[in-house]
A and B are shown apart, each in its own frame.
Chain A
């Protein structure tokens, strides 16, 4: 352990066979607290690679700085701090990276998994957070025209909450965009890996089963990953993936079945146009229906369909019979409904008037018969 002890108090350590890593929390003068990662090559070949990595990381960091002087360093992308070619003559070079997004408990994810410090799959919340950080880092990197070239668990720092993308030894300026597309796909595979614990083959589209597994983790994740793994021309970019992942909601784990509310994936411009077109049609039709079928406040009296078999076939009672059975009021009402099309109701005056007429009629009829 002492061989890469640099005389300062080091934090936890990790090794992957090529490099030794030690982590420590430091307070920067202008940038606040962050975690430093000291990367030390174990042999000559690793030293060369480290020098290359240092060169590229510095280039990227400078590029980022040059864009905006006062901008804060990216939270999710490790930045260059310094590189010491040689420590004490026979020593090996050390690259110091700065990671702002993680605490000092951060580790390289792959190594942590290998050493059983972390077990996959991660929880839905962790997966989502990791995905967001990862694509945020790629968005930053791609935004200045670089592709990372080796997105994977071995290059991802993770502290159980947040992730920082590091190790830009394969990073390159990407003029055509194909390399950036590859980054997006690699990141999607990494997401599948941490969400399910099993890797998927590179270069293949997402299988329905795999997609379903992802959906089971976070509703909507499957679709994002599927689109990130789509054939290059249909593939989404890192910024889209970042936005969509942020829109995904993680279900409460105590909810039965862990059902998350349905995740909304933001529309592309064309999709948004169509959605608005649809709403417009629907509103127009609704207005047309309103004119066609104005709703009435009073419910209609329930219409009773033929109540009893045979009921329809009873001959209608004669006026005379109504008068005998139910009296003069009922007879008057009967007259009203039958001959004047009025609805029977307590229209006392009319009823009274007609009642009088009926009485006269009945008397007359009775007299003549």
Chain B
């Protein structure tokens, strides 16, 4: 019989302690961010989808070597190049120029292999995270076009 009453007493006490804790939490400042109205700044190393980097003249730094394409575990990157004649010191030379750089972001796992394998510092992660869409095609990025748009 004594056990019965001490159970009731100890049980009620534990419930009151718990309520005390939740009651105190109730008056603590809010920690959540009201998302559409407030946004957080992404940390410096945040990995969004990749983006081409331009040199001083606004051309992509990429030399179309294809290392990133080969390193990617999921085959997200497809690129192409054309050969153009340029004049250096009066001599005509052939140079590979990037003509297409597409990223299929639906398959990308943001692993960073492409960025690490690029020896020319030609790609980097963006800070883009607002990417909701109901259409798959919206995640097939033409990075060359995006670079031109940024330059414009």
A and B are interacting partners: no
